[in-house]
Structure 1
Amino acid sequence: QMFSVIFPVCLRLVDGGGPCAGRVEILDQGSWGTICDNGWDLDDARVVCRQLGCGDALNATGSAHFGSGSGPIWLDTLDCRGKESHVWKCPSRGWGVHNCSHDNDAGVICSGFVRLVGDNGPCSGRVEVRPAEDWTPVSDGNFTLRTAQVICAELGCGKAVSVLGHELFRESDGRVWAEEFRCEGEERKLWWCPRVPCPGGTCHHSGAAQVICSVYSEVRLMTNGSSQCEGQVEINISGRWRALCASHWSLANANVVCRQLGCGVAISTPRGPHLVERGDQISTVRFHCSGAESFLWRCPVTALGGPDCSHDNTASVICSGNQTQVLPQCNDSVSEPAGSAASEESAPYCLDSRQLRLVDGGGLCAGRVEILDQGSWGTICDDSWDLEDAHVVCRQLGCGQALNATRSAHFGAGSGPIWLDDLNCTGNESHVWRCPSWGWGRHDCRHKEDAGVICSEFLALRMVSEDQECAGWLEVFYNGTWGSVCSSSMDDVTVSIICSQLGCGDRGSLNTSVGLREGSRPHWVDGIQCQRTDLSLWQCPSDPWNYNSCSPKEEAYISCAGDLLHKSCPTAAPCTDREKLRLRGGDSECSGGSWGTVCDDSWSLAEAEVVCQQLGCGQALEAVRSAAFGPGNGSIWLDDVRCGGRESSLWDCAAKPWGQSDCKHEEDAGVRCSALNPLPGIFSLPWVLCLILGALLFLVLIILVTQLLRWRAERRGGLQGELGTREGVWRPEMVFPRRTHLLWFHLTPALPSEHQRTDAPGEGYDDAEEVPVPGAPPASQVREEEVPPEKEDGMRSQTGEWGQLLSCNLQSLSWKW
């Protein structure tokens, strides 16, 4: 009875990153107070969510999960049934009666009454509402822009920039929301908008309503206090007009602004006219437009680490003013003169029909170089591809300087045409297709030779921890180096975006109880302040990039609430080739089935050799197939890999496009490595095999020579008596068969001798002269028992010297080979 008289004024959720999650607070008698978590459960949370128009309750949190509140604690030991219209109508200990502290503040996470479902984040897509348990799509019949504005504002997504329809309902939808919303545009939530039942209970529609929101929806050009078709570029961000910095402003961006404002096309982008008041803040948001977009909010955006910008460096545009005017197409068939340094300001009065992009590199500023022409995206061949060529690409895309010019389809093989080959840029050209080359569309390459780049403004994110994958020190890759992220100004929304970007769920927290990290590193960025509209950390505003943005004790350590959904190194520079590859399932550190995995189609010792060398595991002993170490799990990243054996990493080998295979994990490839450090320098596998074979051949020859000399000496001594009574004729067949005879003479044509046989050899033998053992007298003059020991020593000595000479010659031969 008391509560029916003393009703609290308002209910809200605080510090949860949105209107439908956070600490529960009630306004009464002019003070915001909290609820104690004694007995707090999902039934209590459902009443809160429904009262706020936030759908169903997903979680009832306690222990000040969203931070400790302040002021009174209004309720304790709630026992809601879940059907009450207001949370203060539930049974409790009494209004303002409790035995808690603010460390026990209750919170909720609600599903929300409305959401946008699509592939581009939470701020665009199909409109769905959830009054109870199931999400239900909303018809596009009589769906107005005012209703879309309420939805965008409620979701914290800025303003509605587009309302679309005609998206076909899914067969699994089952039903459509049976009411029409009649919002005025000023309501804080869609739940509060008037709505009427659809006539006959069925809404007329052609499909589901779609809404696109953006915080970059409003742009203008200002000159002398009036908006015209030329002047300083200003954009409305969070209700405040700000000038844009010119450091990353391009003619392509300017052309989009002119088109959006109905001012024709951009003629130039001069600096100035410096209308910003000294106290106004300049926005350092960077747009990456191709020039073909109809609205600036459709362009990719980077806000993190924007540079300090002076008041005399603001972006300006001069538009043609003619809404129907279209720029003529540039003549791209002619290369720019060598050494020219054409700038965007002095660009010709024409529009490039071609577009440039980087693909499969994990960001806007790294990847395989692709050019759009005649409706087809094509690639560049890596013949003569170097940093000068890569510099032109990076500058053209507003991505800074080139850090690496990659070759051999480092970012995967492309498809379609190969537009350019044998580029020879000076580095100053305004467009990569204006560099000298073989000619447009002329080449002698395949897509396994596709060129790529890694630019200085390529960004990547990771967590560093010894034993955890979704908790650790946060690091960002910038300007070619990993560095720490600073924690000041970082709130729950920022942490949530970081965890989501890393595939670790949509919630997390800063851990301030960990000690200082060892070692030194850059502290790249501080002052990060994300909004729900930001799809990634890169879109969050922050302080400028700075090598020393904070002290070591301010390095951010984040613990995410979710499990790892995916973890992969960006294909570009942040991970070393060794870090991108591992072996699992074998009986030692350097043997096992490849992780991630690789199909065994075409898998041979050449591919295994590349893997072992890449991991520092010595030489390949065996290329294992058919999941001999057990089947893996997850994706099969590579198939039909074909290596030469000398590639520096497995990604340099030819293969099917990344992630495309027709295999199962029963076909996972593996390797056995020697686990020895690879020999340095020229001692690669072919050289080692040559040396081993050469050494074996040398040993065989030495054994043959030694046995031959000993045999001849014994034979000559044993026949001395017989030769003394017979005619002194020595015939080759008395000593060795014909083949050994031939081998001996062919290998030792320069062996010194004192006596030569002049008699013709027997029938059927080659015309070869006898070469007696060096230092031995004729057999007709010496009897076996009369051979002095020193003669035998001399014979052995000279044979040893000849063996050493043969050894040196063979070694020289093997090295040259």
Structure 2
Amino acid sequence: MNSAATVCAELDCGSAVSARDSKETPMRPVWRIMSGCLKSRSALKNCLPYDEYNDQSLRFICSDSVRLVQGTNRCSGRLEVKTDQSWSSVCEKDFDLQDAKVVCREISCGSPSVLQGALYGEAEAPVGSREFLCEGSESALLKCCSRKSSGRNSCSPGQAVGLTCSEQDNFRLVGEASRCAGRLEMKHQQRWRPVDVGLHNWNMNSVATVCAELDCGSAVSARKSKEASERLVWRIWSECFKSGSALKNCFPGYEYNDRSLEFICSDSVRLVQGTNRCSGRLEVKTNQSWSSVCEKDFDLQDAEMVCREIGCGPPSVLQGALYGEAEAPVGSREFLCEGSESALLNCSSRKSSGRNSCSPGQAVGLTCSDQNNIRLVGEASRCAGRLEMLHQEEWRPVDDWYSNWNMNSAAAVCAELDCGSAVSARNSKEASKRPVWRIRSDCLQSGSALKNCLPYDDYRDKSLEFICSDSVRLVQGTNRCSGRLEVKTNQSWSSVCEKDFDLQDAKVVCREISCGSPSVLQGALYGEAEAPVGSREFLCEGSESALLNCSSRKSSGRNSCSPGQAVGLTCSAPIRLVGEASRCAGRLEILHQGEWRPVDVSSRYWNMNSVAAVCAELDCGSAVSARNSKEASKRPVWKIISNCLQSGSALKNCLPDDVNSYQSHEFICSGLLVEPLIFLSSSTDGVSTGRKQGSELLIGSSFSIMCSIRPQYEGGSFQLIFSTSNYTQNHTLPAVNHSALFLFSAAGHAHQGTYRCVYHVYVFSYNFSSMSQPFNLTVSVKLMESIRKSSASVSAYLTALIISLVVVLLGLLGSVLVLYFKARRNQKSGPEHILLHDEGSRAEGSLEEETAV
């Protein structure tokens, strides 16, 4: 009915009155959608339908005259009435209990329980001035007599009618001595019928909700009726309710069915305000009222009795005030259980001697342990084998429903068994020769939820097999393929120091837990290490099947390793698109059990959000299109169900099934093209690429810019975008051999700015484009001045050098001439020559001194 209310609101048709399957078969195809796609009033128009031949369609009745807005549910809110195609609130002075009864009946809710002005906010619509005079038997408010309100001028928006209708008492348990046990029946369209709720989708938390709504204490058990129903049943799905009040809003369809549901609730005890159905503050029902129990009047024998009565394990914690103060009175009854009784109220009891000394803070808080009711069997390790579950005192293999398990489900099983990370999960190849317990994996919400899944008896030829890694696990990650690495040795888990772990080791771990190759390896990436940081260095070669199969040695750096250096590891996703020139287009394939296969994904469940998740997971941008492959697959495919996708990372966790199918799927993502490259070529600077920070050109020099892209698709064009702070220019050339050359004759200041290449191509009936890195260009005259200054410096240096050489040569020539004339003079005279020689020596010394100077 919440979905129906969304439809009525979107059509501006007031409140939802009823919804049902059409009794008549439509004569044409229908659009099939899932109501779960509704998230808001605008969501219905965004639902992605698929074409189907179906014998059912839907009929809705909306109240086009009244609606309740801003309430906590569809049966509460501020009353608005539609007249002349506009909505207005009603003044509380003009509205009484008789009028309220008509409104509650009109919108298919129970009798009015609260009638108060301004209970649901101020009136946004005008407050009307119409007084209704209902007798109480009318089918609609606008069929009541009315008159102009005498108090219209004195009615403020704060006095607009706020109305709460009680939720109809429309289900019950029948067929047993207690009203809290028996077959579940529901009243719909004024008829009581047994209920079939698709039991595969229920768990004990769902049963606990039913028991609480019937004021019947804790849930004890639930099962399919052994006897076939001889009449029509109402079929509902447990997932339609999110809280105790939601079951009344479930929309049943009628059908012939041979099964209904039987529930047993404990009408005498319940645990409230706990973290799960097996914990909470104990309350006991006597004389149709609930009261807490004083811890002085309650011992371990009594606690064992309560835990057994509500179908939980033995008590693990018994402590007063553990689950809040007691709202109900604290009783004065002391229980004297012996341990063999079937219910607490079957135990002997006596009036408590300490009743006066018991305060609310001493009310019994009880935690019963979860029963160890799952196991893996059939292999040498307790962490591998066929999954079995204990239910109704019997161990049986477990079968899933619609192959809807995924690796997150498997991870929950492994974690619950303290078996490390999930490695694989699959349907058993051998048929089970005995009945199985059939459950649905989506009942798993956490590691402890599997124990609460509600199985039912089924003869099936399949069961589930799991393999867990009992030696390694990744914890606190964003998905099962990421987290802080912990290794199990001597039955305890410890982190690994990043100094003792390299890429080869990481490859082995990623392969061991069935993930892709390592993409990130960094210490402290996933929080501080809670477990001790180990001192073992691994020496993997990369081909080992498990980390503990690698050689190892005691770490030399154990003393220098802090918790902040514990290994954080992210393994990549085992999915790909193949068959096209781009890695972002083609047939979807997934790696499972060491084998790449095409994927058949039950396309009627897929929508563009699912496709977007695949594109995002491949880092390929947005979703462009998806279709069934035109050509049949000639090899086996992996079959998955797309509703296992919850986020962009979920596809890697989907659990495929081995099937012979001719169907696969082709996806196209917006990140289809690789990034083009940009090159600059000039007469002064040679060739440089856009990968550089930028380039400087000499003013007046010729230059060219080349755009190029790795060959993917033929044709297309390149757009050269030139931009400055003031304007942008575009130049376009066709792509020739996957490139284009843009020529510029002379560089000027107008060419300074940022250049980008954008490649455009039309493929797959869509236009795609990809942009290069920016390239910054500067044009300058400083380069010319630098060259001119350099030339002048060289000329001056050469001139000075030549002058120096000339001076030195002239000096040498003078010295040679002086020596020559002295020698001739000595040959012509004797003693005189000696005198002249002495004088010549003095003269020579004087010349040499001058030359030296």
TM-score of the pair, normalised by structure 2: 0.30
Q: Which has the higher strand share?
A: 2
TM-score of the pair, normalised by structure 1: 0.31
Give 1 or 2 for the bigger CA radius of gyration.
2
